[in-house]
Amino acid sequence: MAAKTRFKDADMQAVIGWVLRIGVIVSVSIVIFGGMVYLYRHGSEAPNHKHFITQPSFVQLGGILQGIIDFHGRSIIQAGIILLIATPILRIIFSTISFALEKDRLYVLISLLVLLIIFISSISGHIA
């Protein structure tokens, strides 16, 4: 069947629906797990979120990996959150591939432009 080899909008919808669902389920599961670790270790302490305070290094971007190795609940939560933020971005990457398979050059460009904007935004902390 010729129709099977051609990539269609309906296929794209199935793939994107799947990416979004898996992304949310996996990242929220990680957040819940990290939350349990965090509450187990710090549940009885006093919270302080009234004013902006510098966060510990193990929840900052550079320190998360080490934080997970040290089994910090908040590092695990933060990893889940970063994965959650990455889910819609992953969706654009999959859309770009789908548009490329459909040979829709205009929409490949549009998708890449959206990705570029998010990329610039994600390095803004290092330039401004």
Partner 1 sequence: MSVLIFTLIILVGSCFAGLVGSLTGLGGGFIIIPLLTIILRVDIHYAIGASLVSIIATSSGSAAAYVKEGITNMRLGMFLEIATTVGAVCGAMLAMYIPTHFLAVILGTILIFSALLSLRKKAQQIVEHKSALAEKLKLNGSYPGADGTVNYSISNVGGGFVVMLFAGLLSGLLGIGSGALKVLAMDSIMKVPFKVSTTTSNFMIGVTGAASAVVYLQRGYIDPAISMPVVIGVLIGAMAGSKILVNTKSSGWLRWFFVVVVLVLASQLIYNGIIGKI
Contact residues toward partner 1 (CB under 8 A) are 9-10, 12-14, 16-18, 20-21, 23-24, 27-28, 31-32, 34-35, 38-39, 42-47, 49-52, 54-55, 59-61, 73-75, 77-78, 81-82, 84-89, 91-92, 95, 104, 106-107, 110-111, 113-114, 117-118, 120-122, 124-126, 128
Chain-centre distance for alpha carbon 34: 16
Chain-centre distance for alpha carbon 117: 16
Helix (H, G, I), strand (E, B) or coil at 127: helix
| 81 vs 101, beta carbon nearer partner 1 | 81
Provide the minimum distance between the beta carbon of 2 and partner 1 in the complex, in angstroms, as a whole number: 22
| 6 vs 55, beta carbon nearer partner 1 | 55
The CA–CA distances, whole Å, from 51 to 15, 47, 54, 55, 78 equal: 42, 11, 10, 11, 20
Q: How many other CB atoms are found less than 10 A from the CB of residue 98?
A: 21
| 91 vs 101, beta carbon nearer partner 1 | 91
Calpha distance 124→94 (Å, rounded) = 24
| 5 vs 124, beta carbon nearer partner 1 | 124
